[in-house]
Amino acid sequence: MIITSRERAYDLRQPPVFIMGGTGRTLAPNPAWNYSRPEIHYVAGNYGRNRLFGMAGISQNDVDFISCYDAFTFTTLIQLEAYGFCGKGEAADFVKGGRLKIDNALPSNLSGGHLSEGYTHGVSMVIENVRQLRHRADDACPGWAEGKHTYDREAGCRQVKQARIAACLGWGTETMSSSAILRGISA
């Protein structure tokens, strides 16, 4: 991943992707470890989400797809609540019916995530989101490098149709977690 100025990014070979907002090393109101806070399930998103979405100037409803740190399956549910995609205790109902599937309302972890792609502490998810925003997911479509996709899921296309804004959700305690909202040039 190369991060450079907007001006230089336009001159590079690949379509640019812009960082709308981000958090890193967020602070919580209490210095204790998360399990010594009143809410033991609070993670970085609970403390950083207003900064993240405020910086980006969008709401959760504007996000087309997400990546989230799925070290385990339940961490996805906690993050959906932490970053405000649904209310506290609502994540199970939120994902029921396949909301996170590729052609549904909020596709998640399109490259497979930690559980199915590789445990790289989130960075490969950011790379995947950048590829998706460029419309250049390196899938089975013959023309993926030119941004031409068939959207045939059975044949191995994993490009999201509406890939304008992506949220990269980070897991963990606030001092060691980060998040970002990215957009492609078409957004």
Partner 1 sequence: MPGDIDYTKLTIVPDFDSAEWWMGTKEKKYLVQQCNACGHKWFPPFPACAKCTSMDLGWFETAGTGVLHSYVVVTQPIMGAFVEAVPYVVGLVELDGCHEADGSLVRVIGVMLDDEEDVAIGLPVKVEFEETNEPNIVVPRWKVSGTAENTWKFSE
Task: Decide if 119 is catalytic.
Answer: yes
- Point out the catalytic residue in the list 10, 42, 47, 69: 69
Nearer to partner 1 by Cβ, of 36 and 61: the residue is 36
For residues 182 and 168, is the Cβ–Cβ distance under 8 A?
yes
Q: Nearest approach, Cβ of 108 to partner 1 (angstroms)? A: 25
How does 96-135 read in b/e, with b if 16+ C-beta sit within 10 Å? eeebbebeeebbbbbbebbeeeeeeebebbbebbbbbbbb
For residues 12 and 143, is the Cβ–Cβ distance under 8 A?
no
Question: Which of 4, 12, 19, 30 touches partner 1 by CB under 8 A?
Answer: 30
- Residue 32 in contact with partner 1, rule: CB under 8 A: yes
Closest to 178 (Cα-Cα) out of 127, 132, 126, 128: 126
Nearer to partner 1 by Cβ, of 114 and 158: the residue is 114
d(CA 150, CA 157): 7
Task: Decide if 10 is catalytic.
Answer: no
**Ranges within 44-103 binding partner 1 (CB under 8 A):** none
Segment near partner 1 (CB under 8 A); pick from 7-15, 34-42, 71-79, 116-124: 34-42
**Which sequence positions are flagged as catalytic?**
69, 119
